[in-house]
Amino acid sequence: MTIIYHYDGSFPGFLCMLDEALHRKEHPFAIITADAQEVLWGEVRVVERDDVRALACWRWMKAHFGVPTVRLVMRAFLADDERRDLRILDYLSFLCAVAPHGTAALAHPAVKGLDDLARQVTVEAHRLTGLVRFTQVRSQLLVAPIEPTHRVLPLIAPHFVRRLPGERWLIADLRHAFGYYWDTVSLREVEPGPEIAAVCNRPCTGASDDPYESLWRRYVQVIAIAERRNPRAQRRFMPERYWRHLTEKR
Partner 1 sequence: MDLEKKLAILGAAARYDVSCASSGSRLATPKGGIGNGAFPGICHSWADDGRCISLLKVLFTNVCIHDCAYCVNRRSNDLPRAAFTVDELCNLTIEFYRRNYIEGLFLSSGVMRSSDYTMERMVLVAKKLRTEHLFGGYLHLKAIPGAGRGLVRQAGLYADRVSVNIELPTERSLRLLTDKKKDDIIAPMGEIKSAIVENRDERKHLRSAPRFAPAGQSTQLIIGATPENDRQILTLSDALYRRFSLRRVYYSAFVPVSGDPRLPAIATPPLLREHRLYQADWLLRFYGFAVGEILGERQPFLDEELDPKSAWALRNLHLFPIELMTAPYELLLRVPGIGVTSARRIVVARRHGFLSAEDLAKLGVVMKRARHFLTIGGRMALPGSGRHLHLMRRDLVTRDLLAPLRQLPLFSS
**Using CB under 8 A, which of the segments 2-10, 14-22, 32-40, 240-248 binds partner 1?**
240-248
Q: Does residue number 144 form part of the binding site for partner 1 (CB under 8 A)?
A: yes
Smallest gap from Cβ 57 to partner 1, in A, equals 27
- Neighbour order of strands in the sheet with 141-146: 135-137, 141-146, 169-173, 178-182, 187-190
Hey, is 112 helix, strand or coil? helix
The helix (H) or strand (E) run that includes residue 187 is strand 187-190
Q: Does residue number 194 form part of the binding site for partner 1 (CB under 8 A)?
A: no
Which amino acid, 103? T
Contact yes or no for 31/85 (Cβ under 8 A):
yes
Cα 66 from chain centroid (whole Å): 22
**Using CB under 8 A, which of the segments 36-44, 46-54, 55-63, 218-226 binds partner 1?**
218-226
Residue closer to partner 1 by CB (options 96, 164) is 164
Per DSSP, what are the bridge partners of residue 113?
none
Smallest gap from Cβ 235 to partner 1, in A, equals 8
Identified binder of partner 1 from the candidate list 136, 137, 175, 178, rule CB under 8 A: 136
The sign of the CA dihedral 171, 249, 126, 84 is positive
Smallest gap from Cβ 35 to partner 1, in A, equals 34
Contact yes or no for 142/134 (Cβ under 8 A):
yes
**Using CB under 8 A, which of the segments 4-12, 52-60, 105-113, 198-206 binds partner 1?**
105-113
**Using CB under 8 A, which of the segments 10-18, 60-68, 191-199, 209-217 binds partner 1?**
209-217
The binding track of 163-182 with respect to partner 1, each residue x by CB under 8 A or -, is: xxxxx---------------
Q: Does residue number 97 form part of the binding site for partner 1 (CB under 8 A)?
A: no
Residue closer to partner 1 by CB (options 190, 238) is 238
Identified binder of partner 1 from the candidate list 53, 102, 178, 244, rule CB under 8 A: 102
Contact yes or no for 151/78 (Cβ under 8 A):
yes
Residue 146 CB contacts under 8 Å (≥ 6 apart), including other chains: 128, 131, 132, 153, 171, 172, 173, 174, 175, 245
Strands (E), 29-108: 30-33, 43-46
Q: Does residue number 55 form part of the binding site for partner 1 (CB under 8 A)?
A: no
Q: Does residue number 218 form part of the binding site for partner 1 (CB under 8 A)?
A: yes
Q: Residues interacting with partner 1, by CB under 8 A?
A: 102, 104-107, 112, 126, 129-136, 142, 144, 159-160, 162-167, 212-216, 218-234, 236-238, 246-248
